Structure 1
Amino acid sequence: MNKFFICTVIIILYLNFTLSIFVLQTNFKNKYATFGGCNFETSIVIDSEEIENIDWVALDNTTTIFQYQLEKFSGTITSPVYFSANIGDIIFYVNVTSKNPSSSQIFPQKIICYGLEDNTDPPWLSTFNVDVFSASLSFDFNKYKLTFRGAPDDFSPIWSIFIGSEQYDLPSPKKSSISYDNMTILHYEPSEFEMISSFDYPQYWFTFKPIERYPYINVMESPFKPKVVSSNIDGTFNYFINLKSIYYGSLNFKLQYQNYSKLSKIKKIYNNTYFLLNISNITTNEIVLNNNRLFNINCFIKNQINRKEIEYTWKRFLWDTTSVAGFPFGYGSGNNNEFIMDFSVLTTLNLSDQGYTFDIGGETINFNGPNTNSSGPTILEYREQDYFFNVRRVYLKYSTQFSISSIILNSYSGGYKSNGIYQYYSTDFNILSGDLKNGELEFFYQYNIMSGPDFEILLTDTNSISTELLLSYPVLNNFGFNVESISNISFLFNDVNLTNSYGYNIMYLETNDSPLSFDPYLQIIPQWDNITINGEWINSRYEFKFFMPPNIVPGDFEYAIRTPGLHYILNTELPYEYQLNVICDRIDLMGPIVTTMNKNPSLGVALIDNENYNISWVVTINDYSGFNNGYVVVIGSIDNILYNVSIVSPIEYSNELTYQINITLNNNTCTSQTYSIAEMVLYDRYGLNSTFFMNKAIDYTPNINPLYPIKDKSFFSIETECPGGVFTQPELKSFDFEPKSINVGSLNRDVTFTYEISIGSGIKEYPIVYLTSATFQKIKCNDVITTQVNSTFNQYKCTLTIPYGFGLPQDIMVNLYGLIGFGEYFGYSSPTLRTMGYPFLIETSFTVMDSQSPGLITGTSLISTEGGSLLIYGKFPINGDFNVEFSQGYSLTPSKKSGSIIKVDDVKPSNDPFTISIKNGNSRSNMYTITPYRIKYFRPILTSKCRGTPICGGPTQGTCDDVLGCICNSPWVGVDCNSKVIVVPQPEFNNTSPTIILNGTSDNSESSIVALVSVVAIREIDYNNKVLHMYSFDKWDYISNNSKLSTYSSNIINKNGTTTPISVSIEYFENERKIEFAGQEIKMKPSSIKYTIYIEKYPFSTRLSQLQLILSATAIINSDSDSCSNKEFDSTTSQGSDFIKLSISNKSLYGRLIKRALVDSVPITISNELLDKSLGAISDSHTSQSFIGINVPIYNKNVIIDPDFSLLLNSNPSTTNDNENSICSPKPSSGLSKAQLAGIIVGCSVAAIAITFATIVTIYKKKVIAKQMKTFSAKLKPMSEN
């Protein structure tokens, strides 16, 4: 048995220590040592507005092993803090500084690190059985978890767990619920493969017929895993994998799959070719310019693959930067048979002697700097702050002899360092004050990517001299979050049918600790790329809006709940009721595929013998979901001439398309060369793509190659032969730009380039200006305007806005590449332009924005049409007094701001693009256009039987759909298609309250129906439906928007003295029209009215309360004949709503109550209920009244509700008269009942009808409501006294 010893950390523990102005809470937990030490983490909660900052210091004996400062910006702080320590005595202090120095305190902490006597390594897992399924061992929450992927049916291998010197054997699960019987491969391809470029690696396809949804399949030696991408009619699944490897040469790939109790294998060998550049005669030429050294690098390259991307790597001591660029960057004069590479790098005279190299295509060029004995930058102050979504803001105050150039973050894990996990250049960090030598800066990083407990910050100056700031800061913290932390998971929609359909859904996560001390994530796993959604704390739970693509694997939707520390809780670990069920007829997770290809001419060489000679490819494209569009790029093998051909289907979303790709050549201008398909990208109707690139330098994306079925790759190319001739090549005749110097910290950073070229025998492609920095960042000027000066000269002009901070702290190199003539191309590096007498460098300067500047907007986060929070990226003065102005005519004050990011909340919903700008005092920033993305929610699938006798009114009136219910033929409406809309005249709006009267007198029948709908009251109820507070509306302010729309506003005076505004809009629809509400399309009937009720913030008594809006609906019929009334309250199938139907004889008032509301701008499911019994609705044979309660869950800001009402004529009165719940009476004999009064009114003029009816019914209603309110007041009085 192992013996444990306890390493006690010296100190006194003060938890929940209370001062007069603040409370400090910590949650240190004792740890067991791994790798000889412990990683500790805690979080702090400061309940005070008086805190200036917090210092955390850990001491090992007398040596500081960790120091961290957290700045107090605003509000309550909740922040994680981490540090590492060896086994031994540690002293850990928390120093809290307040604005009142006398209140500052030091809090010592006590923690314990437990160590294992004979083992400092974590346990490990092994088995002596071969060819078995995989297993893994992990340590979560003081427990070791053994996870099996697959389990045999009749075979139980022994696994051994080693803890120190002890070995524990345990069998794997046997006879598990996971069965892989009959898992044989039905088909796989290709059998042979030969690479034609670096990107053209094998893509293998396997067809299985598994019993289980996810069989165990694995391909060793590949960084990718096989993934199901489609299914077939016979139930088989097609799997796909890229066999890309980081290794080159002859590689042996082994496919493993479970078959009964064994792992079967298929071995395949292919040669992973490394396509090296054929480089020779590398030369460098140094040019000294002031304090800069400009190196011109030239070399010869032969037999280059057309437009192949080339890797450039700038290596500097502890870090390196790799840049990838294809033609034309760096290409000098020549063609692909042989050309001169011509590019440059910029350094300083005082470059560090630590050594640095420049790699190009695998060849290394060494540089040596002088030994200047310069010291690196000094970090005067360092602070961090959690900003949002696991993104941290880092603040540095610095001083250096030379200028700041870059910031590098390196990660340490297990004693190893990962260099350059983050690299920040002048365009990435933001200088807040001072200058490049003495100042303050900030940058942001997302700490969940970092993999180790320690990391260092390298602050590097112009001479590549760095200062290291080493921090023990394990950012992978799981916060004690596990399955037991979850109290409930639900979805806005479940049992979602994704067969050729897609949309958005919302997952609701409820936890035992609410809210959590971190921002949880939802990880979606059904497509190629994992999609991460941030959780929002709304209505006492986390909400995750996520997109569900069409035609995915049916069954349980794959997702995971993730912490910032990359700890996952998979949906397979959660109970059945937490699952989201997906329905799909077929699987289609792949883009379109080319199934056949032919070329013309099919054999031999194409002789270009006329001015319009076409070479072509005819392809057949297939896709289950339907082809949308795509493009093909054809490139010449000698001169790199490019042809881009768009592919558009004449039939929308065709499952099979035959398309001809034509390239027209001219015998007077062509070059004898081979034309090849070098790029093809195809999209299906849902945006899935298949991709082929011949010229990629590196690509590890698991995209499907649309050309994989074409085994004969000679079809990709067509060889041409052109008549010989004498050509005059184009030539650069002038080159200039203005301005020659620029302040890259200013708001105006435009540079205009102008150059002229003699046409010669013709120009196939004009050149493009490239700007490069000393850190080898590149930008290019694409928007070129061509002007033909005369028959021999073209002028080209291009204006480029240089990115903020680009090039700092040195100048910017100007290059011109990509001029294509006849069989040759030409390019001019910065030194080459200098040699030709042209300007070649842009001098840079930098000044920090002053406090009155509005700043510069460079981008924003995504935002939906529903509005919400918006992050604005850019460069802003740190002390600016900002307002964000929107083109819709409103402005917002930032809820959070820094020099790089501004956050605003409560952006209003918008279906159209809009612009924003930043206003600081009287200054405005640039306008930035935002196009919100549209959230399309699913229509819920409800199970309900079709209604009516006959069903749906019979075949002439409607048809029955098993899912949607009755689908009515016009003009029939209703849940049973047995009603028609009664056309009513446009009602007159009441100018005192949101009450509307519908007068149905147009059907020439013996009886007429008049209906009244009004907003009665609002009440707060608890989880037991107990009324806590009730509010009636005594006064409304009326606004007449137009003849068909009126708005009423009022206020609720809450019990705590605050005010809750409420507004009600009533709109009349004369004709049928489709509208959208809460992501759902709604068809408004003609002559119907729609209520839109907007309720602002309400102070709920408890977190379990909800609001209930009470509506009243009343129908009265005038008739001297016998009559029956009936009311019906139920759900519709096709519309996802409830309905109230008040029927009297053959007429009805129909109210549709949508079971969704916009709660804090988010569509939320709500409920509706009938309140007739509790509120005492009155009905008789000629009158029917109902009170409807619309229940809204707790919210933070506002809620919008959208019911509508219309009058219907029932074709079958017996449905009312024969209903056992109907109220019937014989013909009235004497007296004036309310119905008779209504009948008298109907005989009057229309105006008199409205006035008199309103008077009678309103008095009647007020008496009822007054009685009810009196009852409620009596019930509430004891509660208020308590």
Structure 2
Amino acid sequence: MKNIPSTPSFLTRITIDDLERWSFEPNNIDVSNGPGKTVLVFNYTNANPSDTPSIYISYYSYYQDTINQDNIFTGYFNETTKLFNIPIVLREKLFTRSLSYNLTSAPNPIPSSMINMKFGNDALLNVTSKYADEMGPVINNIIQYPKGLINIGDSETMNIGWNFTITDEPSGFYNGYALIYSDLDPIPYNISFSVFNAIKGNEFNGEYSITVPINGNCRTSTYRIHFVLFDYLGNLATSVANDINDVSTPQAINPFYKLYGNPTTESLLSIQVICSMTQDIYPPKLIEFNINSPLIIDVGSNDRRFSANFTVTDDYSGISTLFKNNPNLYFMDYFGKVFSMKSNFDSITPDGLLATYTVDGQLPFGFGIKGTILLSIYGIVDNHFNFGGISTSELERRSQPYLLKTEFSLDTPVLESSDRLYTNGGNLYIYGKRMGLDNDSVTCQIDYNDGKGYQSIFIIFRSSSILQIKTTEILSSYIKVKIVVNTTSSNELIIYKYVAPNPKRPTLPALNCPGTPQCSNNGVCQTSTGECKCNSLWSGPDYDTRLSYRYTNEIPLVTNVSVNIEYFTKETEITFANKELIMLPSTIKYTINLSTFNFTSKLNTLQLVMSATIGTSSSSCSLKSFNNDTKNIQWIKLNIDQQSLYGKFLDVAEIDGFTTIISNTLLDSEFETKDTSSQLQTYIGINIPNFDNIATLRSRLFDAH
């Protein structure tokens, strides 16, 4: 008998001592504005030009156990340099640091820490970024719909839900899903949505709405919303609790972190529904169970199909018809391993008290190999969240089907899966069972879906559970592969071509600017923002006035605060927090820096109050105007006769060196300003999120002429 090799021939055996050369060219990659590229150039003793070494880049050190296929890069032997090259593409906006990686090898992968000890700085894979983003999207505010307690009558139907705002800069929110749990139902509503579902705004700051229907045939319960959100770079934010001891799961930021710590805002995450219908306290019951497939299944063949139907009843509230509440059929083998199939809703009587479900699917290869599989049904749910089920012993007692017999044939090859199939083809590994021993005759056939049908392809390597082939360029969306072991053919494995994600951003409609005509013919409308870029010597929201002003400002000194004031005599373009700003002649720009503040909690925020006053010795007319949202002030204008004071506020700041969304609130009612015909005063609260080192608020702009 042949000895089984300790290392499969398709996996290169390399140790740290075998490495002769190692360098990344370049090894300092800027990923500020897009993906970065580099090439790993290396060599090792006893190398074979047919080797295809690979490297795995780990972006997050805290979940090394999870393998992201997008971060595996495979190389080739460069015949010119006689060295191995692995081209690597790094995702954009990573924080500046040295990345961890592993060289794939047998018997164990070689970590970057060991390679660094041998090759020093040449082994460092450094990334730099001026605008890093590894944080997922955030829920900025949320509103219940409808508000308060909800009372619903027996025959009513209504929608409940939430309207909410998602912010994410600089990458932008891409997609995610909402999970809505009831305190009586452990199975949530799962509602997927994306930036294209925004009812207002864009990927950086957009408003969304999620609703679910509630029928009056219900039981009083409280519904709570959770989110799993991703931005365009794949950064995750989730409010679904993870086990903090599970290192394979990233401890992502909670998108509700801005709402926690305040009982009022936390209460907005749940909605209580009061149902007037008398409560049903009895669970539904199974009354009939039929198996439609053979009672003996060959779990070693390619046909392991099982099908059945069953009927359930509920005497009062009726059977729930929500797909999430469809029952599950459970299979348990001799070793206690459990497999389940979710049923599909088939029919229900007009009164809703009797429902039929079907089950149809394939059992796993080899499941129940010892000859017996026990059956049970659980998760039968009525409209009042009573859960019913039936055990194996109870099925047997009722003379219902309660077990399956199995057999296990030994001659049928089974193809199960493969590695990724790329457009340019190349090495492809296919996995399965009983794919041939050393003395067997094994052939592989491939159909490129090009109209030529199946054709033979050379097998580079094979064992009883894996084979390696090399495909040509893939022009279709998928290929089909099968093998023949001796004279027995396998199943047909369909392999879809991998297409790298390329998420599209929404095309925003052109926005109109204020003024008639737009910008009062004294500026150019920026259709992407709905704001005017004014001509020289003009300002205001629609640039219809010339301005002059006097300004006073008081800031309570609760931390080290420095204010730099810059006066512009000519039009100047500056950049702040990734935004281009036009400073017009006679504009004063304020740069406010706050040093470390001793927050008592990471959930606390800080509000900096600015005051502006305009007045004359005598006047007959005064006017204060601002945009409609007092909780998110963008501009304010104070007019007394021919004198005007105009202030413009940005919604971003630089917090600990990162661009961050902020808001500005009108506080005139809190400070009880006393406006007269000769004097106007306003107070604006700049709402600063929690920070560690420094907050820069250069976004406060006052223009006057």
- Measured against the shorter chain, the TM-score band is 0.5 to 0.7
CA positional deviation for 1:629: 1.3
Question: Could you tell me whether the CA contact under 8 Å between 1:857 and 1:873 is conserved in 2?
Answer: yes
Aligned counterparts of 1:710 and 1:615: Cα–Cα separation in 2: 20
Aligned counterparts of 2:37 and 2:372: Cα–Cα separation in 1: 48
Aligned counterparts of 1:695 and 1:838: Cα–Cα separation in 2: 40
Instruction: State the Cα deviation string for residues 303-359 of structure 1 (Å, max 9, x = none).
Output: xxxxxxxxxxxxxxxxxxxxxxxxxxxxxxxxxxxxxxxxxxxxxxxxxxxxxxxxx
Structure 2: which 5+ runs fail to align? Answer: 503-705
Aligned counterparts of 1:608 and 1:744: Cα–Cα separation in 2: 51
**Which of 684, 687, 700 lines up with 2:234 in the alignment?**
687
Q: Which amino acid aligns with 1:690?
A: A
Over 3 Å counting, the alpha-carbon distance change for 1:557 and 1:911 in structure 2 is: farther
Q: Which residue of 2 aligns with 1:644?
A: 190
Over 3 Å counting, the alpha-carbon distance change for 1:506 and 1:865 in structure 2 is: farther
Aligned counterparts of 1:582 and 1:907: Cα–Cα separation in 2: 35
CA positional deviation for 1:922: 6.4
Q: Which residue of 2 aligns with 1:661?
A: 210
Alignment of 1:1118-1197 (within 5 A): none
1:724 matches 2:277? yes
CA positional deviation for 1:750: 0.5
**Which of 340, 348, 369 lines up with 1:808 in the alignment?**
369
3-state SS in 2 of match to 1:631:
strand
Question: Could you tell me whether the CA contact under 8 Å between 2:378 and 2:390 is conserved in 1?
Answer: yes
**Which of 483, 488, 505 lines up with 1:918 in the alignment?**
483
Q: Which residue of 2 aligns with 1:866?
A: 424
**Equivalences, count:** 463
Over 3 Å counting, the alpha-carbon distance change for 1:726 and 1:780 in structure 2 is: same
Higher strand share: 1
Q: Which residue of 2 aligns with 1:615?
A: 160
CA positional deviation for 1:681: 1.1
Over 3 Å counting, the alpha-carbon distance change for 1:873 and 1:696 in structure 2 is: same
Aligned counterparts of 2:83 and 2:213: Cα–Cα separation in 1: 61
Aligned counterparts of 2:399 and 2:38: Cα–Cα separation in 1: 62
Q: Which residue of 2 aligns with 1:1060?
A: none
Instruction: State the Cα deviation string for residues 370-413 of structure 1 (Å, max 9, x = none).
Output: xxxxxxxxxxxxxx55354379xxxxxxxxxxxxxxxxxxxxxx
Instruction: State the Cα deviation string for residues 130-156 of structure 1 (Å, max 9, x = none).
Output: xxxxxxxxxxxxxxxxxxxxxxxxxxx
Question: Could you tell me whether the CA contact under 8 Å between 2:329 and 2:343 is conserved in 1?
Answer: no
Over 3 Å counting, the alpha-carbon distance change for 1:565 and 1:922 in structure 2 is: closer
CA positional deviation for 1:923: 5.3
Over 3 Å counting, the alpha-carbon distance change for 1:691 and 1:504 in structure 2 is: farther
Question: Could you tell me whether the CA contact under 8 Å between 1:499 and 1:551 is conserved in 2?
Answer: yes
Alignment of 1:66-465 (within 5 A): 70-71=3-4, 384=6, 386-389=8-11
Over 3 Å counting, the alpha-carbon distance change for 1:907 and 1:772 in structure 2 is: farther
Aligned counterparts of 2:391 and 2:482: Cα–Cα separation in 1: 38
3-state SS in 2 of match to 1:762:
coil
Over 3 Å counting, the alpha-carbon distance change for 1:911 and 1:741 in structure 2 is: closer
Instruction: State the Cα deviation string for residues 1009-1040 of structure 1 (Å, max 9, x = none).
Output: xxxxxxxxxxxxxxxxxxxxxxxxxxxxxxxx
Instruction: State the Cα deviation string for residues 1077-1117 of structure 1 (Å, max 9, x = none).
Output: xxxxxxxxxxxxxxxxxxxxxxxxxxxxxxxxxxxxxxxxx
Instruction: State the Cα deviation string for residues 205-250 of structure 1 (Å, max 9, x = none).
Output: xxxxxxxxxxxxxxxxxxxxxxxxxxxxxxxxxxxxxxxxxxxxxx
Alignment of 1:603-1002 (within 5 A): 603=148, 605-609=149-153, 611-624=156-169, 625-640=171-186, 642-650=188-196, 654-667=203-216, 669-677=217-225, 679-694=226-241, 699-700=246-247, 701-704=249-252, 705-711=254-260, 712=263, 713-725=266-278, 727=280, 730-737=284-291, 738-758=293-313, 760=315, 761-764=317-320, 765-782=325-342, 784-788=344-348, 793-821=354-382, 822-849=384-411, 853=412, 855-876=413-434, 877-878=436-437, 879-888=440-449, 889=452, 890-910=455-475, 912-920=477-485, 924-934=489-499
Structure 1: which 5+ runs fail to align? Answer: 1-51, 54-69, 72-78, 80-383, 392-476, 938-1282
CA positional deviation for 1:698: 7.4
Alignment of 1:509-520 (within 5 A): 509-511=42-44, 514-515=47-48
Aligned counterparts of 2:319 and 2:193: Cα–Cα separation in 1: 26
TM-score, scaled relative to structure 1: 0.33
Aligned counterparts of 2:30 and 2:24: Cα–Cα separation in 1: 17
The alignment's C-alpha RMSD in Å is 3.6
Aligned counterparts of 2:45 and 2:488: Cα–Cα separation in 1: 48
Alignment of 1:1008-1087 (within 5 A): none
Aligned counterparts of 1:655 and 1:882: Cα–Cα separation in 2: 54
1:489 matches 2:23? yes
Over 3 Å counting, the alpha-carbon distance change for 1:578 and 1:768 in structure 2 is: closer
Question: Could you tell me whether the CA contact under 8 Å between 1:885 and 1:917 is conserved in 2?
Answer: yes
Q: Which amino acid aligns with 2:23?
A: I
TM-score, scaled relative to structure 2: 0.58
Question: Could you tell me whether the CA contact under 8 Å between 1:729 and 1:762 is conserved in 2?
Answer: no
Aligned counterparts of 2:211 and 2:277: Cα–Cα separation in 1: 24
Aligned counterparts of 1:880 and 1:582: Cα–Cα separation in 2: 50
3-state SS in 2 of match to 1:709:
coil
Alignment of 1:1109-1124 (within 5 A): none
Aligned counterparts of 2:356 and 2:52: Cα–Cα separation in 1: 55
Over 3 Å counting, the alpha-carbon distance change for 1:880 and 1:840 in structure 2 is: farther
Q: Which amino acid aligns with 1:717?
A: S
Aligned counterparts of 1:503 and 1:778: Cα–Cα separation in 2: 45
Question: Could you tell me whether the CA contact under 8 Å between 2:152 and 2:274 is conserved in 1?
Answer: yes
Instruction: State the Cα deviation string for residues 168-220 of structure 1 (Å, max 9, x = none).
Output: xxxxxxxxxxxxxxxxxxxxxxxxxxxxxxxxxxxxxxxxxxxxxxxxxxxxx
Question: Could you tell me whether the CA contact under 8 Å between 2:58 and 2:101 is conserved in 1?
Answer: yes
Q: Which amino acid aligns with 1:736?
A: N
Aligned counterparts of 2:486 and 2:379: Cα–Cα separation in 1: 46
CA positional deviation for 1:891: 3.1
Question: Could you tell me whether the CA contact under 8 Å between 1:867 and 1:910 is conserved in 2?
Answer: no
Aligned counterparts of 2:166 and 2:496: Cα–Cα separation in 1: 32
1:593 matches 2:133? no
Instruction: State the Cα deviation string for residues 1182-1202 of structure 1 (Å, max 9, x = none).
Output: xxxxxxxxxxxxxxxxxxxxx
Aligned counterparts of 2:185 and 2:472: Cα–Cα separation in 1: 52
Aligned counterparts of 1:592 and 1:787: Cα–Cα separation in 2: 41
3-state SS in 1 of match to 2:301:
coil
Aligned counterparts of 1:697 and 1:577: Cα–Cα separation in 2: 35
Over 3 Å counting, the alpha-carbon distance change for 1:557 and 1:743 in structure 2 is: closer
Aligned counterparts of 2:21 and 2:441: Cα–Cα separation in 1: 43
Q: Which amino acid aligns with 1:663?
A: V
Question: Could you tell me whether the CA contact under 8 Å between 1:653 and 1:685 is conserved in 2?
Answer: no
Aligned counterparts of 1:744 and 1:788: Cα–Cα separation in 2: 33
Q: Which residue of 1 aligns with 2:561?
A: none
Aligned counterparts of 2:95 and 2:467: Cα–Cα separation in 1: 40
Q: Which amino acid aligns with 2:493?
A: Y
Percent identity (aligned): 23
Aligned counterparts of 1:804 and 1:576: Cα–Cα separation in 2: 49
Aligned counterparts of 1:863 and 1:800: Cα–Cα separation in 2: 26
Over 3 Å counting, the alpha-carbon distance change for 1:644 and 1:734 in structure 2 is: same
Over 3 Å counting, the alpha-carbon distance change for 1:645 and 1:871 in structure 2 is: same
Aligned counterparts of 2:207 and 2:232: Cα–Cα separation in 1: 17
CA positional deviation for 1:800: 1.5
Q: Which amino acid aligns with 1:702?
A: P
CA positional deviation for 1:495: 6.7
- Higher RCO (Cα < 8 Å, 6 or more apart): 2
Aligned counterparts of 1:830 and 1:695: Cα–Cα separation in 2: 33
CA positional deviation for 1:674: 1.6
CA positional deviation for 1:626: 0.8
Aligned counterparts of 2:116 and 2:478: Cα–Cα separation in 1: 40
